[in-house]
Chains A and B, each alone.
Chain A
């Protein structure tokens, strides 16, 4: 007999070892997320996938599915929290969608649309963050990093390298590069690495490719993130 839990009143089957978000995705139910990617070890840091499991808030990307769980995801309360979290991400970095080449292909932007975020609510930090344009083919714009560590995981788990990490604490936290100079050009990163392509926002970009995809043909022009996430099976990540 198949095991199952209840998500917003719907019976969701799962297999042993699956997390809540994996089982939900397999059943065609979208739970908003940014740091989660089905190909990588769960991280549980962005907290957008928070759901209520038997009355307790848990991260759906790390919490194992179990029988008889009563899970609430699409409630006004939880979506309000998700929106606040997204707003905090926007004000902590410098996310200027109108000029950003990732606009239309950006998961942060798409999640914000999904959650009906129409303003930033909180005052901007206007954090002073730098660009690292030293690499011939790949650019880091620290203004847009949300510390999801997908590049860290992709470099380690898929590329077999160890190019990225998060250094510092709290407000001084930042993406760091494994090179004596701290510059991307002196790291092992190559443009073909998965880590160069996995960023859900516009923090890690392939140089000289911005705006090549016309408006109307970008990933989230076609479908909102909840549909893209389920049809690609990649959690909204570009193929």
Chain B
């Protein structure tokens, strides 16, 4: 929709504005805007400028280290990495998901519900609520969690306590709030004791109440200015995520479902171990983050969104009652999605999918409520206190683990040798999948809200608001080693380009003389 703003012609005549760093997101990224003499935006890009290298440095390590090593990618959703790696190394010891002990599977699910709950609470309350409560162009020193705690102490405190509860679930199972050790190849290393279960039950009713209030809050904010919230940063896209066999929302294990912008199913219950036949990644010269796309649709049309919006859009129902009621309301709203509906012929005006980027916050909190309900259900499940934790099988040389991390579908793929040493690793992180979508949203905001205006800091926050809706984890998402295309430009004091050298993703170096 806004692809024409990815690369501008005659850049030397354009003025450059940089938002660096993008704040209130995990990791380091920047946005650059190129403006002409009339302040019209001619180019807008989200660049991920940090470098990690995980895929490379875990090579040469024994496979059982993986869940503990890769969770260090992130301090916000380490458990998702921990479990994606664990699911992959289950296969290396010959254990498929159906053969994992029931208790181990349920403990992992409980662990992951705690993870998604705390991450969603963190994202909504700590990172995004200042924009939503004070306004996108509000005073800069208002836009932080401290101001929320001052002006809306009830809401702010609930956010902090919801996050704390999720962290406590994680601590009871993995020994630490952040970066513990719980999942091992073929199962889990510790049973949940009755005391630990009872401790978590103490606050769960309150957590469900607060989560319900949170959904109602975000719904109220969204509906307070419906046309604006529906249109801001909104793009039409494909949606991808895991799904249960019965079509219910799934966060831990399932097949891949992919729907297009009209809600038509492109792929369903696809075995994620064959992901490489479905998804490829493209590299571009101006960012360290890759651009994945659905192979059958090609590079131009195959990009997709993952995360709360994709999951709630893709599923047929949610298997916990309060969240399901909220989902139904959310989807009903989708039918009235003004921008999307306007772009369609009247016969299709009732939309199957909600495309509003800011509705991601709404979907996120519906999921948070689902996590709270699911935690309660699992804590009452007698299997959760079981002692049978580990399964064994025959060694294999390749393992692929996929999970729905808070920000979306997360792929871990490893190969090992005869000595149990990792020889190859590929990680496709949620934020990477949203790369094209975030860039499109940035360009939409730049074109619709900034172009032609005198740019001020509050105005530029609109761009960050668009990025924040995706809850990007930029440090997770940047890890291509040796494949990074680079461009080196030599510019004289007057701004004239003197020389330009490009290194392509295949390692070829080329001098470019325009």
- Residues of chain A touching chain B, judged by Cβ–Cβ distance below 8 Å, are 98-99, 101, 131, 133-134, 139, 207-208, 210-217
Contact = CB atoms under 8 A, between A and B. Distances in A.
Contact of B189 (A131, A134, A207, A214): A214
26 contacts: A98-B68, A98-B179, A99-B65, A99-B72, A101-B65, A131-B60, A133-B419, A134-B419, A207-B62, A207-B420, A208-B64, A208-B93, A208-B420, A210-B64, A210-B184, A211-B64, A211-B68, A211-B184, A214-B181, A215-B174, A215-B175, A215-B176, A215-B181, A216-B175, A216-B190, A217-B190
Interface string B175-187: 1100111101100
Which of B93, B174, B180, B189 has most chain A Cβ within 10 Å? Answer: B189
Interface in B44-70: 60-62, 64-65, 67-69
Given A99-B68, A101-B64, A211 B181 contact: yes
Contacts of A133: 62, 419-421
B176 A210 contact: no
B196 to A, nearest CB: 11
Contacts of A216: 175, 190
Going nearest first, the 8 A-B pairs with the smallest beta carbon separation are A215-B175, A214-B190, A133-B419, A99-B69, A211-B181, A210-B64, A214-B189, A133-B421
A139 B65 contact: no
Contacts of A211: 64, 67-68, 181, 184, 189
A8 to B, nearest CB: 36
A133 B60 CA distance: 10
Given A98-B72, A133-B421, A208 B185 contact: yes
Size category, B interface: 20 to 34
Interface of B: 60-62, 64-65, 67-69, 72, 93, 174-176, 179-182, 184-185, 189-190, 419-421
B114 to A, nearest CB: 16
Contacts of B62: 131, 133, 139, 207, 210
A207 B67 CA distance: 16
A131 B422 CA distance: 12
Nearest to B188: A214
A199 to B, nearest CB: 15
Which of B60, B69, B419 has most chain A Cβ within 10 Å? Answer: B419
B165 to A, nearest CB: 20
A101 B64 CA distance: 9
Contacts of B420: 133, 139, 207-208
A214 B72 CA distance: 18
A215 B179 CA distance: 11
A215 B65 CA distance: 15
B430 to A, nearest CB: 22
B421 A214 contact: no
Contacts of B60: 131
Given A133-B420, A215-B181, A210 B174 contact: no
Given A98-B72, A101-B65, A214-B181, 6 more contacts: A98-B68, A101-B64, A208-B185, A214-B175, A214-B190, A216-B175
B65 A212 contact: no
A131 B68 contact: no
Nearest to A207: B420
A208 B93 CA distance: 10
A50 B47 CA distance: 54
A212 B65 CA distance: 11
Contacts of A207: 62, 420
Contacts of A213: 189
B173 to A, nearest CB: 9
Contacts of B72: 98-99
Contacts of B421: 131, 133
A113 to B, nearest CB: 16
A150 to B, nearest CB: 22
A195 B62 CA distance: 21
A48 to B, nearest CB: 28
A210 B67 CA distance: 11
B175 A212 contact: no
Nearest to B179: A98
Contacts of A217: 190
A207 B419 CA distance: 10
A208 B190 CA distance: 16
Contacts of A134: 419
Given A98-B179, A133-B419, A139-B62, A212 B184 contact: yes
A211 B419 CA distance: 19
A131 B189 CA distance: 26
A85 to B, nearest CB: 28
B103 to A, nearest CB: 14
Contacts of A139: 62, 420
B182 A214 contact: yes
A44 to B, nearest CB: 33
A236 B64 CA distance: 25
B466 to A, nearest CB: 34
A84 to B, nearest CB: 28
A139 B64 CA distance: 12
B493 to A, nearest CB: 38
A211 B181 CA distance: 7
Contact of A212 (B68, B69, B93, B189): B189
B95 to A, nearest CB: 13
A98 B67 CA distance: 12
B449 to A, nearest CB: 43
Contacts of A208: 64, 93, 185, 420
Contacts of A131: 60-62, 421
A181 to B, nearest CB: 14
Nearest to B61: A131
B418 to A, nearest CB: 9
A44 B366 CA distance: 63
A210 B420 CA distance: 13
A101 B69 CA distance: 10
Contacts of A214: 175, 181-182, 189-190
A53 B93 CA distance: 55
A5 B381 CA distance: 62
Nearest to B189: A214
A213 B188 CA distance: 10
A98 B179 CA distance: 8
A144 to B, nearest CB: 13
A25 B115 CA distance: 45
